Structure 1
Amino acid sequence: MAKVETSGKSAAVESLVQTCIKLVCQHMSVLEERISDLPASLLKDILPHLNIVYLDRIESAVQSKGISTSFVWEFIFKDLVKTWRCRPMVSQPYCDWKQKSLERLFHVALYTHNRGDKKYLSNLSEQTVLSMTVSYVQTLSVVSRKVCRLASVELKPILSELERGAGCLKLLDRWSPWTGVEKDLLYILHRLLDHGSVKDVEMGRCYGLDLQNWITTRCRRPEGVGPLHLSQESVELPVAGTSSSIQVTQPCGSDASSTGLQRSGTAMEEVACKRRRITWLWDMPTEFPCDTFLPKCGPICPKGQINSLDMQVTPFEIINVVSPSLPFWRCLHTLHLHNERLFKDSDLQVLVNSLQMLCSKPGCILQDLSMAVNDHTPVDAVLEACPSLRSLSLDVFPPAPGSCNKLIPMRALKPLEPKVFLLEKLSVKSSHGKVQVDMEGLLTTLRQTPNLRSLHVSGIHPASPILSTLAESNKTLKSLTLDDINLASCHCEILHLLENSLLQDICLKDCQLLDKCTTNEDFLVPFVKTLKGLCSLQSLALPENRLAKSVKDLAELFSGNSPSSILKLDLSSNYILPADLLEFSTLLSLHKRSHHPSSRLILDLRLNPLDRDQDVKERALRSLIPFCHILTDSWDSRSTMADHISMM
């Protein structure tokens, strides 16, 4: 757009093309059917000026001209989500931007009235935006009481569409829906869970025991009997790692029983248990009062089945809500329990025992479990309680004061009877500083999971025995992520593992790889040489390792007669300056030209101080563009100390 000075004032003069674009956008209702008659170049310029309705309507015609609308949907999403640079989805260059942006727009229209001056929403009413975007909602997020508007007569068609299309429900706010004010919210949840297609539920911080109880009853099979509606019935609950069992009595009415276990002497001594009754803290009935919404819902109200449950819970809720009913959650394929408070070992043991009881029942389908444990909890004891798991994720906490481990693994009792588990994915993380886990339990787990495909270890030390065990026992491992682990003294173990593996995906994040190296020949050069020999490798991530000038040596991955087949290289947060990137790009471009690769390398350069020399940065990026899909950002390293802190 050209500018001229008129009487000391700046006036914008529109070009003829811009005038045409403006007129076409204003008369899309007339020109929509003839949009394919426009030249492709003009058509591509028009797309960013259209609202979402017209953009959606003309999509087929635009694609017939060889033009994708994905770049417009990507712009819309990034305009709506200002924190998009920090989200993992940006590293997925071929994600469905249309679905993501329209799902986001649905929530914007539902919860906010101030949409700002957005071209993509121009001349569109709230009802139009909701109607157009609702079919793209895969996950409905409940973030405020404004969601209750979906129960109104005007938005009934929107709720009906959500019933058919939404598969996941996220409850991200705190309130109890049993009060009369939130009757509409209760109706919405009932429609989505019991009449709709929602199978996955995520619950944020304490929603109250009433809602927790109502939702978790949907984790039971319809033909099963829930723990709060049994006649006096006793069941045998086995204790992990022992041949003993405890007897849990489930009373009828609104009481449930839980068990606190005490162990004294040797592991084989008889387990003493004490029964304690728990009085539920709500007055509403456990079962949903369907009559409340008849005939709104029709003559029959089915009961939903939750296959995946993700809950943020306190230790009190673990012991009083989750553990008593968990043995009856036979609908669950996935259970993720998150807490930020320290566990007592006795509470953790009751939870593990409840899991063991669930997994011992016929028809149990639980395969994916995530939970918190104390740092002295044996990993293999948890796995022994749930031997059918395919995925296990443990968040390691320091123990509560006065804790002493009460979970005894089978190896301590029957060391001559090794067991083979079905586990394919294991994650052991500490987000509370480096902790000393029960290393023998972790190593035993690795030895007894020959089908392990993915391992993620974070904040755990020492690393050397883990690497050695992987090289010996886990030959089929495909994905390895080590995060916040000091590998400066484990160079030999790293190289040995790479030489004896079929890894496809390697991530070494904040591992201090070069801290003890005086020259790159000490580790980086042999590391690159070994990686080139790993034909299975497709993705390599080395964020936060202070590579800086050493980044140039990584270009050797693609040199010679047998270059690496890596498809993705993550060099983010490595204090790479523009001059370092230019040297790397020059070498990489030279190697890539000689091999004519069939696919472009995905190169992640985010959170590097590339703004220090804009001209050199642009030169480096230009030489990379023919061979790489570059993930970068406009991070201002001079205005923050984040780059310095991340290197400390």
Structure 2
Amino acid sequence: MAKVETRGKSATVESLVQTCIKLVCQHMSVLEERISDLPASLLKDILPHLNIVYLDRIESAVQSKGISTSFMWEFIFKDLVKTWRCRPMVAQPDCDWKQKSLERLFHVALYTHNRGDKKYLSNLSEQTVLSMTVSYVQTLSVVSRKVCRLATEDLKPILSVLERRADSLKLLDRWSPWTGVETDLLYILHRLLDHGSVKDVEMGRCYGLDLQNWITTRCRRIDRVGPHLNHESVELPVAGTSAGIQGTEPRCSDYTSVGPQRSGSATEEVACKRRRITWLWDMPTEFPCDTFLPKCGPICPKGQINSLDMQVTPFEITNVVSPSLPFWLCLHTLHLHNERLFKDSDLLALVNSLQILCSKPGCLLRDLTMAVNDHTPVDAVLEACPSLTSLSLDIFPPTPGSCNKLIPMRAFKHLEPTVFVLEKLSVKSSHGKVQIDMDGLLSALKQTPNLTTLHVAGIHPASPILCTLAESNKTLKSLTLDDVNLASCHCEILHFLENSLLQDLCLKDCQLFDKCTTNEDFLMPFVETLKGLCSLQTLALPQNRLAKSVKDLAEIFSGDTPSHILKLDLSSNYILPADLLEFGTLVSLHKRSQQPCPRLILDLRLNPLDRDQEVKEQALRALIPFSHILTDNWDSRNTMVDHISVM
């Protein structure tokens, strides 16, 4: 009977606590000033019941009790963003979850009316949510026409805060194309770009040439390029040079149109040239500020874009980007993305435009992303833009009938190779494994002695790249090989690691162990070599079918000279709970003997750890004292077929 009574008392106490929490949350407007009087244990139980306004208001009082509200902001973000598992921020323990969640909530309130039954939004109006979250918006994403509500009188104060706070703008193509440039949208963009702090712009494809042209005029430096230019003095890129980037910079009268319109009479060619120049220079590029002067004030400045990320078609590359690119002196970052490649002649025109821009004394361009053919020499692109510190090339398969027209100048003039200042290089194919101009890539690696970061994806063969890195790129700090077959490159990998100062190594989906009959063939020598690499801090081996071999990887933390790795990514390796338990037992044994030691960030996502929940918990208990574990609730039984297909 006493036992039953004890249970009854326990149930009564729990019910009373929950009732008190509910009452406190209902009367927060009265009690928030005395919230610090509550015990820490009760405060932590109260937090999940509060809306975002009170959660923000009592944050300092809660922190004074030694409680962080970060777990609540993380919960809110993950509740709003169902794809959070795929986002890199979850691998960052110091992520600012409050900023991320409130920025997301701003967009939810702006674009949707159905917010669901969320405790963190209870009793809050749309205006309250927008007013509370707007100061946390760093990037404004335009995803529907509802953004035009910011131009209404009710939301003008919200727009004013965005002007001061937001530094980035995303014009995303998630709805049907705009049929015309809407006045309210232009007004909002004008406030953000010309009156506000936005310097970084990301633009989708559905906005049309008018808006695209208006935005790109903000890439020009006003103090150097005026609105009225003498046509005879303008230098534009030529599209038909056969000698690659050694082509001259013609006057406007020498410019030939790009594309299939070249055939026809001389009169038609002259007319085409005339139309092109008229379109380029005489179309309205200034914002019609007079329309909004009562709203903006007596003076309307003109914004300057420092970073531009554009989704472009071959037509836009040829008719918008290449002609105006030589005047984009404000840009330090330019990312051009297209789903299909343009002709070799159009690529040549683009590279020539880049060369003209980079040759100007006021050019600030340092970071470039663009698409090229698989036969395009990487060193030729670098030669056109020698001041770049970061270059990312998306490699496309060749178009029918294409031939290489981009050739390094030194190939014609027998010059000594140039030493470039490039620090970051990315060469990747999004269209299956391709065999690129390997001589051009290896030449670029040899000419960039200060290279610190290299990312190669979908490129083969890998052996020449690893050998060149070992000999020519001693300062390399970060190497990522993605979808690169390394099954036959074990000797080259070990040789490179023995001669490097790497801090970050990522070998993703590289078939590392496909040709190993035993772990002694490669895994154990690989582990011993990594232990000797004292500079290494991050090791990522996702999608390499480690499985049972993961226990041998634990030896990386063993012995008198253990590895100094602080982050280990073992995601998507078909690690079962029993395998993880063996790994965890060995890691805890090695780490315990090395106390004190920094905590390891361990990524275990997308492994079938749900197969045995009890063993999984055992493994995690062994690892938790020494690791910050990134895991998920992945249902491997329902998605295993998809998982295996991408491994």
TM-score if structure 2 supplies the norm length?
0.92
Alpha-carbon displacement from aligned partner over 1:407-427 (angstroms, at most 9, x marks no partner): 011342244511100000000
Match of 1:98 in 2: 98
Q: What's the CA shift for 1:286?
A: 1.6
Distance 1:141 1:456 in 2: 28
State the AA in 2 paired with 1:451.
Answer: N
Give 1:451-600 correspondences, 5 Å limit.
Answer: 451-600=450-599
Pair 1:296–1:12, CA change in 2 (3 A) = farther
Give 1:51-70 correspondences, 5 Å limit.
Answer: 51-70=51-70
Q: What's the CA shift for 1:178?
A: 8.3
Distance 2:208 2:152 in 1: 25
Distance 1:244 1:229 in 2: 23
Give 1:96-495 correspondences, 5 Å limit.
Answer: 96-173=96-173, 179=180, 182-225=182-225, 229-235=229-235, 243-249=246-252, 277-278=275-276, 280=279, 285-495=284-494
Q: In the alignment, is the contact (CA less than 8 A) between 1:547 and 1:574 conserved in 2?
A: yes
Distance 2:165 2:582 in 1: 50
State the AA in 1 paired with 2:28.
Answer: M
Pair 1:386–1:598, CA change in 2 (3 A) = same
SS in 1 for 2:646: helix
Match of 2:78 in 1: 78
SS in 1 for 2:235: strand
Q: What's the CA shift for 1:231?
A: 3.6
Segment of structure 1 superposing worse, 377-386 or 231-240: 231-240
Q: What's the CA shift for 1:304?
A: 0.2
Q: What's the CA shift for 1:399?
A: 1.7
Q: In the alignment, is the contact (CA less than 8 A) between 1:248 and 1:257 conserved in 2?
A: no
Distance 1:463 1:226 in 2: 49
> Number of paired residues?
621
Alpha-carbon displacement from aligned partner over 1:62-117 (angstroms, at most 9, x marks no partner): 11111100000000000000111111111112100000000000000000011111
State the AA in 1 paired with 2:372.
Answer: V
Q: In the alignment, is the contact (CA less than 8 A) between 1:142 and 1:172 conserved in 2?
A: yes
Q: What's the CA shift for 1:401?
A: 1.3
Distance 1:227 1:394 in 2: 33
Match of 2:269 in 1: none
Pair 1:324–1:335, CA change in 2 (3 A) = same
Distance 1:93 1:233 in 2: 55
Distance 2:168 2:598 in 1: 35
SS in 1 for 2:371: strand
Q: What's the CA shift for 1:241?
A: 5.5
Distance 1:486 1:227 in 2: 52
Structure 2 unpaired stretches of 5+: 5-10, 261-271
SS in 2 for 1:513: coil
SS in 1 for 2:487: coil
Q: In the alignment, is the contact (CA less than 8 A) between 2:237 and 2:323 conserved in 1?
A: no
State the AA in 1 paired with 2:74.
Answer: E
Q: In the alignment, is the contact (CA less than 8 A) between 1:258 and 1:277 conserved in 2?
A: no
Pair 1:328–1:12, CA change in 2 (3 A) = farther
Identity %: 83
State the AA in 2 paired with 1:21.
Answer: I
SS in 1 for 2:388: coil
Q: In the alignment, is the contact (CA less than 8 A) between 2:245 and 2:380 conserved in 1?
A: no
Backbone CA RMSD of aligned residues: 2.3
Distance 1:456 1:564 in 2: 23
Alpha-carbon displacement from aligned partner over 1:503-531 (angstroms, at most 9, x marks no partner): 00000000001111110000000000000
Pair 1:210–1:598, CA change in 2 (3 A) = same
Alpha-carbon displacement from aligned partner over 1:5-50 (angstroms, at most 9, x marks no partner): xxxxxx9996111111100000000000000000001001101110
State the AA in 2 paired with 1:171.
Answer: L
Alpha-carbon displacement from aligned partner over 1:210-245 (angstroms, at most 9, x marks no partner): 011000000001123368854432427597866541
Pair 1:443–1:87, CA change in 2 (3 A) = same
Q: In the alignment, is the contact (CA less than 8 A) between 2:550 and 2:575 conserved in 1?
A: yes
Alpha-carbon displacement from aligned partner over 1:299-337 (angstroms, at most 9, x marks no partner): 000000000000000000000000000000000000000
Distance 1:638 1:599 in 2: 35
Higher helix share: 2
Structure 1 unpaired stretches of 5+: 5-10, 262-273
